[in-house]
Amino acid sequence: MKKLILLFSLIITAGCIQAQTTEPTGMPPYRILTTDSVYVTPANLKHHKTMLVYFAPDCPHCQHLTMELKEKMKALSDTQIIMITWSANYDIRAIKNFVHDYDLKKYPNVIVGTEGYTNLVMKYFKVQTTPYIAVYNSDKKFVKSYSKSPDIDSLIAVVKSADKKKI
């Protein structure tokens, strides 16, 4: 009997470990407040490839990634870029400054907002550091994620080929 209990314990433990190491398969059910004081959810997404970027406005790596994305925005014009951060009580002042400093309003495919203190997206992706990037194809199926800043040309190549990958 003890051997049977031990066997079941090992199976359950192995299953839990496996469940924690798998990639997300779908779009997280986020609800973000944009700098225009509008709430946005996945239902607002158009039928395009999507890049979710979990960032912090004061993160140097996030700032560098944003500058690199801006330089390559023409190549990403058919991609929705959703930049999500957290803030206490939906305080969006730092996010407004970020949008202003990087002139992100001029890119209609970029949405920047906060998930507030819910940390739903952070928990969904198990974000440890920023920026965290997840790429989805036009059918909102997960393609690839990056837990740190990738090479920008490699990221763009993944986004461009997102609809060609079979998941």
- Domain CATH for 50: 3.40.30.10
Band (46; pLDDT cuts 50, 70, 90): confident
Which of 15-19, 38-42, 124-128, 133-137 is predicted with the least confidence, judged by mean pLDDT? 15-19
| 63 within domain boundaries | yes
Distance of CA 33 to the CA centre of its chain: 15
Identify whether 74 is part of a domain: yes
pLDDT at 104: 97
* Residue 124 CB contacts under 8 Å (≥ 6 apart), including other chains: 24, 28
Q: Which residue has the tokens 């949008």?
A: 99
Report if residue 110 sits inside a domain: yes
Residue 93 resides in a domain: yes
User: Is 5 part of a structural domain of the chain?
Assistant: no
Share of the chain above pLDDT 70, in %: 84
Q: pTM for this one?
A: 0.83
Residue 49 lies in a domain: yes
pLDDT given at position 87: 87
Domains in the chain: how many in total? 1
Q: Does a structural domain hold residue 16?
A: no
Q: Of 167, 156, 163, nearest to 26 (Cα)?
A: 167
DSSP-assigned states of every residue in 17-72? HHHHHSPP-S-----EEETTS-EE-GGG--SSEEEEEE--TT-HHHHHHHHHHHHT
First-to-final CA distance of the chain: 42
* Averaged pLDDT for residues 91-109: 94
Dihedral over alpha carbons 90, 58, 67, 119 (to 10 degrees): -40
pLDDT, mean over the chain: 86
Domain-embedded: residue 10: no
User: What's the rounded Cα separation, in Å, for the pair 42 and 44?
Assistant: 5
Burial of 143 (0-12, 13-18, 19+ CB in 10 A): buried
Nearest by Cα to 118 from 92, 87, 94: 87
Residue 147 has pLDDT above 80, yes or no: yes
Enclosing domain of residue 45: 26-164
